[in-house]
Structure 1
Amino acid sequence: MAYLHCLPPSVEPRVSDHIPQIIDMIKQIIDNGFAYSVDGDVYFSVEKFPSYGRLSGRRLEDNRAGERVAVDSRKRNPADFALWKSAKEGEPYWESPWGPGRPGWHIECSAMSAAYLGYSFDIHGGGMDLMFPHHENEIVQSCAACRESNISYWVHNGFVTINSEKMSKSLGNFFTIRQVIQLYHPLALRLFLMSTHYRSPVNYSDVSLESASERLFYIYQTLQDCEDVLLQHDRACLKETVPQDIASRISDFQNSFLISMSDDLHTNVVLGALSDPLTTVNDFIHTRKGKKRELRIESLAALEKTVRNVLATLGLMPSSYLEAVHELKEMALKRAKLSEAEVRQKIEERDTARKNKEYEKSDEIRKELAALGIALMDSPHGTTWRPCLPSSLQQEPAIAN
């Protein structure tokens, strides 16, 4: 996860280390009149909690029991769920006031959350499939143990599909992050995931990852070009002001960032808004008109700083633009099954073909490399290459997330 710039959790508790806290919480729930024990099992009485279902919007009468498992006739209500389960042969167990057994699925999370965060905390997350019954049950059992229990925000992420098909081991389309980052830069994967709002389903495909890689290369190459220009000037001598139109662009971008992130973390909107400042940077660096602009260097410095701060907040800031550009190119070569020397050789063959006016052969070499995700860039200083979306994948239909 460190490769993806994900911060490590402060605590990674184990259920087996928190059995006393779990038993204490169950005792509280029973003492408060919300649970009952039967033959060594303890069940939560959902009828005692009128607001049960408030998170998912499901009513108690909508929950049809017995569809997936047999209904336990010892329950007062088929919807009652286990807080403690009596020991069964071959299963681990712990001693409790109700006899040997183990915790129910839901109580574990409530007890460990309360142990480290208290009964009230800011954010609780999980997959969309956990909203019911897991998170509903967490809410009622926590509130039953402590009336002041409260979680300010619930965040539920959408599912991952592979080429619009559900990802699962049974379908043979399941793979891990470690497998993905063998061919794609970890931050390209992060960019891809952030390009879809977290509550929406994420459709994983080669086209999506290639597009994210190409986009990330553009971002870092633009900022590296900007850094190269700025290194030629003493920043300490730069003026603190920038032209009004540049100040407005920066302000608009910052406002868009704050509004989008404050509105349920719309990272996809922020990533789209990056286009304007990056285009402006490229204009200042590469166009004749941009190079003549007043306060050009001051503008570049202000734009780079603004974009850098946003990338840092999104966890997309590399340790070095130059290093990230190099790594993205290495990954592109790996996917194309080519070496840098082989690409150089192709460029030389193309240069020779152009000198000999063999334009058909020249175009064929360009197309051959483009099909593999290698784009050739001609300039007065020669031909270079950059990663691109392989033309062999561009015919695949676009799929909306």
Structure 2
Amino acid sequence: MINSKITLYNSLSNREEEFNTVTENEVKMYCCGITVYDYCHLGHARTCIVWDVVRKYLQWRGYKVTYIQNFTDIDDKILNRARQENSSMEEVSERFIKAYFEDMEKLNVTPADAYPRATHALDGIKKLVWELEQKGYAYEKGGDVYYSVNKFSPYGKLSGRKLEDLQAGAGGRVNQSGVEKENSFDFALWKSAKPGEPSFDSPWGKGRPGWHIECSAMVREMLGETIDIHAGGNDLIFPHHENEIAQSEAVTGKSLANYWMHNGMVKVEGEKMSKSLGNFITIRELLEQYEPMAVRLFVLQANYRKPIDFTKDAMESATNGWHTFAEGLQFGLKHGEALNWTPKTQHSIIKSVQERFCQEVDRDFNFAAGIAILFDLAKELRKEANILIHEGKTTISSQELGDKWYTLTSLARVLGLEDNYDESESISNQMSDEEVEALVQERIVARQNKNYAQGDRIRDILKEQGVTLIDSPGGVTKWHR
């Protein structure tokens, strides 16, 4: 395996750093997941694709990766949806968790190693709240438990916010129950029960956890006190991730994560995506218009930390790009006769492309540069396929073609860019040779009678069947699948 070092941008230090793990050759990685009250949208698609590929790449680079992503399955939005539908919190959560997995499968996102849920982590949550209370970082008011922000001196180290700014911008000190907090910027660790809402027993009475505490508890339970990478959208930097740091590090005295990584936000036609603007697009709606791999390619062609704009033109460009990619991936399946080839991963072509791919992607997961390298391979394979069809032979050796195809398919798999071309299915659905030949002869007759419209129609029919026509001098037409 390539020996170069990975560097990545750490939101905590605001600079690129060399990647070193807590345990050699192992990566513990946590990504803040979905609040399951609705179908996943474009922002979720980007987050899940980006961190899925980071995980895949680290695995390909030789690391053993443990990847955890949570579900928030108790939240005001979930409860509001349940009221609207006259259903329950559990029914809403289960429905949209199922929908999440359906959407991710279509986008070729590999499932995480575990998906802890807030309602399944209550013991760990209550233990963490109790420990914070014992250490003087939390206080109880009327059944609610709050984190005392000014007790944690490093507060703001991730987001860069200062307590005096928080004080100036904070709302009132009185919570919804009419109980006064010590400071307006203190946040809830445990919320007392409200009439008609689900609640759980605790040392502070019936209630439910606050949003931030669940991730602190899950990280600790699933991965330990200090992990390598904590990831999520950059809208989570404040307050969610800032509050996670305050909760976890106040108890353990250790860094919660050595690297904090955040993907940029999503726009639609230049506007921030929101239901109020009418440009809220779910993954399901997007996949009604575009191929899943085109969506994946579009996401990966952008710098993961920068905003990304879903526009019609951009998606059409990504679709065209994916078709080029797919033609390269299909080369060995459609033109196996051209590959008298034995895979040997030490061949110079394979090694040199892998090394260039690593050099690019190792720099803060620069997948766009890696994709550009693979595009060159895909275009070359597509060109050789056309030459093979028209001339019956290729311009480069079978071994070199095989090396290029192997390299493209193996590295594309690292990016999760996989084609579902099934040669057997294609063969079962295609016209027989006799049917193709009959249409070719019909076209020749049509062209001789100057019925060019009919000739073009037959060409289009055959093209849809994957048949290419080559008109030669003397009225001779050859064809290839």
TM-score over 0.5 for the alignment?
A: yes
- Given the alignment of the two structures, is residue 271 of structure 1 paired with residue 377 of structure 2, yes or no? no
Give the aligned partner of residue 307 of structure 1: 408
Distance in 1 between the 2:346 and 2:226 partners?
46
Of 159, 163, 168, which aligns to 1:56?
Answer: 159
Distance in 1 between the 2:164 and 2:346 partners?
65
Give the aligned partner of residue 283 of structure 2: 177
- Given the alignment of the two structures, is residue 80 of structure 1 paired with residue 186 of structure 2, yes or no? yes
- Given the alignment of the two structures, is residue 187 of structure 1 paired with residue 265 of structure 2, yes or no? no
Matches within 5 A, 1:242-391: 247=348, 250-287=350-387, 291-293=394-396, 296-320=397-421, 379-380=470-471
Relative to structure 1, the CA distance from residue 300 to residue 76 in structure 2 (aligned partners, 3 Å threshold; closer, same or farther) is same
Shift of 1:298: 0.4
Distance in 2 between the 1:207 and 1:323 partners?
34
Give the aligned partner of residue 105 of structure 2: 2
Q: Deviations over 1:130-174 (max 9, x none)?
A: 110010000110111212342132222222211111211222222
Amino acid at match of 1:15: A
Q: Deviations over 1:167-189 (max 9, x none)?
A: 11222222221222223221121
Q: Deviations over 1:94-149 (max 9, x none)?
A: 23222332211211111122222222222222221111001000011011121234
Shift of 1:274: 1.7
Q: Do the aligned residues in 2 keep the contact of 1:274 with 1:307 (CA within 8 Å)?
A: yes
Relative to structure 1, the CA distance from residue 102 to residue 241 in structure 2 (aligned partners, 3 Å threshold; closer, same or farther) is closer
For the residue of structure 1 that corresponds to 2:288, the secondary structure is: coil
Q: Do the aligned residues in 2 keep the contact of 1:221 with 1:321 (CA within 8 Å)?
A: no
Distance in 2 between the 1:279 and 1:357 partners?
36
Distance in 2 between the 1:175 and 1:181 partners?
10
Amino acid at match of 1:260: E
Distance in 2 between the 1:348 and 1:199 partners?
56
Distance in 2 between the 1:234 and 1:383 partners?
23
- Given the alignment of the two structures, is residue 38 of structure 1 paired with residue 38 of structure 2, yes or no? no
For the residue of structure 2 that corresponds to 1:182, the secondary structure is: helix
Q: Do the aligned residues in 2 keep the contact of 1:125 with 1:155 (CA within 8 Å)?
A: yes
Shift of 1:90: 3.2
Of 264, 267, 270, which aligns to 1:158?
Answer: 264
Q: Deviations over 1:253-295 (max 9, x none)?
A: 322321232222221111122232233334544458x9344xx
Q: Do the aligned residues in 1 keep the contact of 2:155 with 2:242 (CA within 8 Å)?
A: yes
Relative to structure 1, the CA distance from residue 169 to residue 281 in structure 2 (aligned partners, 3 Å threshold; closer, same or farther) is same
The structure with higher relative contact order (CA 8 Å, sep 6+) is: 2
Matches within 5 A, 1:19-30: 19-30=122-133
Distance in 2 between the 1:267 and 1:121 partners?
24
Structure 1: gaps spanning 5 or more residues: 327-346, 366-375, 386-401
Give the aligned partner of residue 114 of structure 2: 11
Amino acid at match of 1:49: F
Distance in 2 between the 1:239 and 1:119 partners?
43
Give the aligned partner of residue 173 of structure 2: 71
Shift of 1:66: 5.3
Relative to structure 1, the CA distance from residue 81 to residue 292 in structure 2 (aligned partners, 3 Å threshold; closer, same or farther) is closer
For the residue of structure 1 that corresponds to 2:228, the secondary structure is: strand
Distance in 1 between the 2:223 and 2:128 partners?
15
Shift of 1:9: 2.5
Matches within 5 A, 1:84-163: 84-163=190-269
Q: Deviations over 1:12-60 (max 9, x none)?
A: 2222232222111111112222222223222212222221111122222
Of 194, 212, 219, which aligns to 2:325?
Answer: 219
Q: Do the aligned residues in 1 keep the contact of 2:173 with 2:183 (CA within 8 Å)?
A: no
For the residue of structure 1 that corresponds to 2:195, the secondary structure is: coil
Structure 2: gaps spanning 5 or more residues: 1-103, 428-439, 458-466, 472-476
- Tell me the C-alpha RMSD between the 2 structures: 4.0
For the residue of structure 2 that corresponds to 1:307, the secondary structure is: helix
Relative to structure 1, the CA distance from residue 100 to residue 188 in structure 2 (aligned partners, 3 Å threshold; closer, same or farther) is same
For the residue of structure 2 that corresponds to 1:93, the secondary structure is: coil
Amino acid at match of 2:421: S
Relative to structure 1, the CA distance from residue 122 to residue 59 in structure 2 (aligned partners, 3 Å threshold; closer, same or farther) is same
Shift of 1:79: 2.0
Q: Deviations over 1:212-271 (max 9, x none)?
A: 2211111222332344433355435x99997xxxx3x65443223212322222211111
Relative to structure 1, the CA distance from residue 378 to residue 56 in structure 2 (aligned partners, 3 Å threshold; closer, same or farther) is farther
Give the aligned partner of residue 80 of structure 2: none
Amino acid at match of 1:301: G
Q: Do the aligned residues in 1 keep the contact of 2:148 with 2:183 (CA within 8 Å)?
A: yes
Q: Do the aligned residues in 1 keep the contact of 2:340 with 2:399 (CA within 8 Å)?
A: no
Q: Do the aligned residues in 2 keep the contact of 1:318 with 1:324 (CA within 8 Å)?
A: no
Amino acid at match of 1:43: Y
Q: How many residues align?
A: 354
Relative to structure 1, the CA distance from residue 241 to residue 65 in structure 2 (aligned partners, 3 Å threshold; closer, same or farther) is closer
Distance in 1 between the 2:338 and 2:406 partners?
17
Distance in 2 between the 1:323 and 1:165 partners?
44
Amino acid at match of 1:47: N
